[in-house]
Amino acid sequence: MSGPDSITAALLVIGDEILSGRTKDRNIGIVADFLAGRGIELNEVRVVPDDIAAIVAALDALRARHTYVFTTGGIGPTHDDVTADAVAAAFGVPLVEDPRAIALMLQRITSEHLNEARRRMARVPQGAALIENSVSAAPGFWIGNVIVMAGVPAIVEAMLAAVAPKLQTGQRTISRTVEVGDMPEGAFAGELAAEAARHRAVSIGSYPSYKDGRFANEIVVRGKDAGEVKAAVAAIEALIARLRAAGKDRYTIT
């Protein structure tokens, strides 16, 4: 549903710990929900390791294609935090210690604790704006169309709240769900495709889930126009009611 006027975004999740399975990512869902609420279309996500070359390659591919690129992870004080280095390299600017970031950190710690490792967290690409947050002393930063955030989900949420007023917003996509229950996808798929062809102003998705040995299906209608969404939902509800009356929910294989 991306149109020429769409505000689009990509998310780059940075961290060996996601790829090794050690940490189960939650930031994709957090960023997806945040963007959906502002009418910004999340079109692509990538997960890469804590590796400067891999981060630069992904940033270069994504920032050319989207209004915004959000990143999570790799901006702490330890040696494996290389995101700031990679963003500076991608933009071809020096990585510099930012006195505003130092000042923010000194609001939380005394100068005797401002060691070299913590000063690493004040390094930002030259020209970047800082992103404060209520959870941690160390800021994220924003350069060009790239918004660089921490990896800890609570800090991601705080940084998203901090940048929200400065983001362009688009028309929100309206999403409505039709609960199908255990009628199998295969029983309604053909006629649902026909409804999708009749309602081209919306996108229609069918999503099975599986729990305790049983499938359940939901049909989701998404679109920008409330009337078009409503019409498609009504047509699908009528379709499902018709199929149910015809006994199409009497077997459970999808």
196 sits near its own copies (criterion: CB under 8 A):
yes
CB atoms within 10 A of CB 194: 11
Residue 89 identity (one-letter amino acid): A
130 sits near its own copies (criterion: CB under 8 A):
no
203 sits near its own copies (criterion: CB under 8 A):
yes
* Options 38, 39, 67, 77; binder of its own copies; rule CB under 8 A: 77
CB atoms within 10 A of CB 223: 23
CA angle at residue 145 from 143 to 148, to 5 degrees? 55
* Options 6, 19, 52, 102; binder of its own copies; rule CB under 8 A: 19
> Between residue 162 and residue 191, which ones bind its own copies under the rule CB under 8 A?
173, 175, 185-190
The Cα 211–Cα 146 span in angstroms is: 39
95 sits near its own copies (criterion: CB under 8 A):
no
67 sits near its own copies (criterion: CB under 8 A):
no
246 sits near its own copies (criterion: CB under 8 A):
no
Are 121 and 92 within 8 A, CB to CB? no
Total of chain residues touching its own copies, rule CB under 8 A: 75
The Cα 63–Cα 69 span in angstroms is: 6
* Options 35, 84, 87, 178; binder of its own copies; rule CB under 8 A: 35
222 sits near its own copies (criterion: CB under 8 A):
yes
Interacting span for its own copies (CB under 8 A) from 29-37, 122-130, 160-168, 231-239: 29-37
Are 121 and 76 within 8 A, CB to CB? yes
Residues, the chain, total?
A: 254
Give how far Cα 145 sits from Cα of 8, 11, 103, 128, Å. 11, 12, 25, 10
216 sits near its own copies (criterion: CB under 8 A):
no
45 or 93: whose CB is closer to its own copies?
Answer: 45
Centroid of chain to Cα 225: 23
* Options 3, 5, 22, 99; binder of its own copies; rule CB under 8 A: 22
CB of 70 to its own copies, least distance (A): 13
CB of 156 to its own copies, least distance (A): 10
36 sits near its own copies (criterion: CB under 8 A):
yes
242-245 long-range Cβ contacts below 8 angstroms, 24+ apart = 243/183, 243/187, 243/188, 243/191, 244/183
89 or 155: whose CB is closer to its own copies?
Answer: 155
